[in-house]
Amino acid sequence: MDDYLIIKELGDGSFGTVIQAQHKQTGQVVAIKRMKKKFSSWDKVCELREFKALRVLPSKPNIISLLEAFLIPQTRELYFVFEYMEGNLYQLIKDRKGKVLDEKIVQYITFQILEGLYHIHSHGIFHRDMKPENILISTRKKITCECDYNYEIQENNSTFPSNTPCFKNTLTDNIKSSEDFEYIVKLGDFGLAREIKSKSPYTDYVSTRWYRAPEVLLRSNYYSSPIDLWAVGTILAELCTLKPLFPGQSEIDQLFKISEVLGNPNAKSELAMQVGGVGGGEWKDGAKLAKAMGFSFPQILPQPLSSRFPQATPPYFLEFLSHLLRYDPRQRLTALDSLKHPYFSESNLIFASPNEPEEIRLNKRIEKKKKNDNFLFRRGGHLIPGDKKNVARYSWTKTTDGQNNDNNGQAPQLPPLDIEAANNVRQNDFVLPTIKAVSPFSSIRKMRF
């Protein structure tokens, strides 16, 4: 720890406390997670799910990077050093204050989430705790060029002027600073991640209620990567409306909230056909799971998804969402299928096949841009974490590789988030502790990545 200068505390969760720090030699700003559990050896550390998942996964732009791990023998304290992210999707949603995001921004954020999921699923890992707080966001500055795909990483600052423009509503907002930035999205917090091939049954509590798949709510002991895609569907809906799609107050209420929109999964197909084939589809296994826990799905017709969204919502969005929110996990889109869905073609988002080099993908995007001046994501927003206390389910990481970026000699300025609304909506609040600088130790064991 003597290599780092402690800046401030960022948050405190069930498994660890997170502090912001700066590497003394390189100047890179990082997030250091101090685990609450004590570890007697590296063998014990290697059994930790988060550590195992991040070691297995190759580096990828949409996955948070673990830079170093420290085990201090004297105190048996374990530290993870991550790249630092400015905030998370939950903070972005609350900071909008009811001003919906532009559709192309929603598509771009969702596409990056799915790229991250495809990466972990293809390497045999599923997340199990997908929610806005675990989707980490920073902004980066675009450099104007022919292809729009060369960027500099913006410098992050701890103080920001209150008059800086914040997240803008549409691409027609004439805010130059908004045009010069875009969102970088990474999946974080792999504390509940498991291998897809790992031995069932799973009996531990996973995911946050509002984003929890029906098979998890019904206490199934056998589930896999489709639960991540259900969560993406609920997150996508929340990105579009800035409100949770299924805000259940308990597990049972959560199932009722889902049924109110998707109908009864045990109903015959003709029931759903009465309202145009909408709903979550038939799910025979759901009846067995519900019976085992003494739950009965209400006998109600499904509602069109369009009833939960603005009238101008395009049909291709609703069609895409409906294929994520299927009762039967076997009927949900996979991450790969989702990335290839026509929903993203409207914004020139092209997914490279597993065997397709990244350069080919970039060339395809450049060619599409030349044919279409209305190119993807010409405006972005600005996001930093709030530093108030009592922040609900605070997230702890950021993006950069430590490189600074000058913007006409000045670092791009980002506005603070207003998280007052967050405290009123989510009740799982906590008080951030005061974290003192960690004293250096002479016999720290390190692992670099």
Q: Give binding residues for ATP as ranges.
A: 33
Exactly one of 12, 95, 129, 180 is catalytic; which is it? 129
* Residues whose CB is less than 8 angstroms from the CB of residue 103 and which lie 6 or more positions away in sequence, other chains included: 240, 314, 317
Q: Which of 280, 258, 232, 253 is nearest to 132 (CA)?
A: 232
From first CA to last CA, the distance across the chain in angstroms is 16
Q: Tokens standing for 253?
A: 């209420």
Report whether 438 contacts 225 (CB < 8 A).
no
Phi, psi of 180 (to 5 degrees): -90, 0
Report whether 315 contacts 271 (CB < 8 A).
no
Q: Which of 399, 357, 434 is nearest to 141 (CA)?
A: 399
271-276 — which CB contacts under 8 Å span 24+ positions?
271/301, 272/301, 272/302, 274/301, 275/301, 275/302, 275/303, 275/304, 276/304
**Binding site: which residues?**
33
Q: Is 285 a catalytic residue?
A: no
* Residues whose CB is less than 8 angstroms from the CB of residue 76 and which lie 6 or more positions away in sequence, other chains included: 38, 39, 40
Q: Catalytic amino acids? A: 129
